[in-house]
Amino acid sequence: MTSERFITFEGGEGVGKSTQADLLADTLKARGLDVVQTREPGGTPGAEAIRSLLLDTNLNWDTRAEALLFAAARSDHVTNLIGPALDRGQWVVCDRFIDSSRAYQAGGGEWSDDAVLSLHTLGSHALMPDITFLLQAPTAEIAERLYARDGDNADRIGGKPAEYHQRVADHFRHLAATDPERFVLVDASGTPEDVHMRVMRAMANFVGEGG
Ligand code: TYD
């Protein structure tokens, strides 16, 4: 891919990815671009069905089954939504993608990064985003936002222990450090508009002011 039209938002829970994906999609649309906005796990009826299985706190998936389910959901999403949209020349803004599996299932869990990438090759032709915004905010600010959003009702993965989420955050940082061409680290503190300004400044570097 050299189109620079496939953009993902990544980061831990409650860091504001969905809000930033909304704001970016709106800004690109306001510039007259044809944008498909989507999310993972989910984005297609099949992948949304897998999402509800994955996040169900009554189901106790082991880490292997969990990684396979995320890869299966992504495969359906790439085959039926993301791939066709990119082929049609549309922009795709996606809330989480393969780097979430690398950070959560490899960094946080027991898989190696290579194993997660092999599943991605099998399931999704190893499709990679062109630009990935990694949102980062101080732990205390995130804890506050998360409590405001979920209270005591975190989903199955959000509810995992703090050490797990620390490993996930460390792995995200490691991924960004090893692929600085694709990753943009974004300070996610402050208002959504502050963060959006930072995202748009970085976009200008990738696609030019007019993009
Ligand atoms: P999401 O709805 O984006 O959660 P949040 O809004 O809290 O960030 O994602 C649901 C959960 O699934 C989240 O805890 C991250 C996890 N996840 C993985 O573990 N692996 C993956 O590949 C993806 C896409 C998400």
- Stretch 161-184: mean pLDDT: 94
- Average pLDDT taken over every residue of the chain: 92
The reply to whether ligand 1 has any atom less than 6 angstroms from the CB of 111 is no
- Alpha-carbon distance of 36 to 126, in angstroms, equals 20
Cα(33) to ligand 1 centroid in Å equals: 27
Distance of alpha carbon 50 from its chain centroid, rounded?
A: 16
Tokens matching residue 176: 């960004």
pLDDT in tens, 103-132: 999 998 889 999 999 999 999 999 999 999
Please give the number of the atom of ligand 1 that sits closest to the Cα of 12: 8
- Stretch 14-30: mean pLDDT: 97
Cβ–Cβ under 8 Å, residues 186 and 172: no
Predicted confidence at residue 208, as pLDDT, reads: 62
- Alpha-carbon distance of 169 to 100, in angstroms, equals 10
pLDDT band at 156 (very low <50, low <70, confident <90, very high): confident
Whole-Å CA distances, 100 to 106, 107, 152, 175: 9, 9, 23, 10
Query: Within 13 A of 84's CA, how many CA atoms are on the CB side?
Result: 7
Please give the number of the atom of ligand 1 that sits closest to the Cα of 40: 24
Cα(157) to ligand 1 centroid in Å equals: 7
- Alpha-carbon distance of 183 to 180, in angstroms, equals 5
Distance of alpha carbon 51 from its chain centroid, rounded?
A: 14
Instruction: Give the residue carrying structure tokens 């209270």.
Output: 151
Please give the number of the atom of ligand 1 that sits closest to the Cα of 70: 22
Q: Which residues pair with 132 in a beta bridge?
A: 8, 183
pLDDT band at 3 (very low <50, low <70, confident <90, very high): low
**What is the pTM assigned to this prediction?**
0.94
Under DSSP, is residue 136 helix (H, G, I), strand (E, B) or coil? strand
pLDDT band at 153 (very low <50, low <70, confident <90, very high): confident
Q: Which residues pair with 135 in a beta bridge?
A: 186
The reply to whether ligand 1 has any atom less than 6 angstroms from the CB of 124 is no
- Alpha-carbon distance of 87 to 156, in angstroms, equals 35
The reply to whether ligand 1 has any atom less than 6 angstroms from the CB of 75 is no
pLDDT in tens, 24-75: 999 999 999 999 999 999 999 999 999 999 999 999 999 899 999 999 999 9
Under DSSP, is residue 35 helix (H, G, I), strand (E, B) or coil? strand
180's enclosing H/E stretch is none
- Give rounded-to-5 percent helix, strand, coil for the chain: 55, 10, 30
Predicted confidence at residue 149, as pLDDT, reads: 82
- Stretch 7-36: mean pLDDT: 96
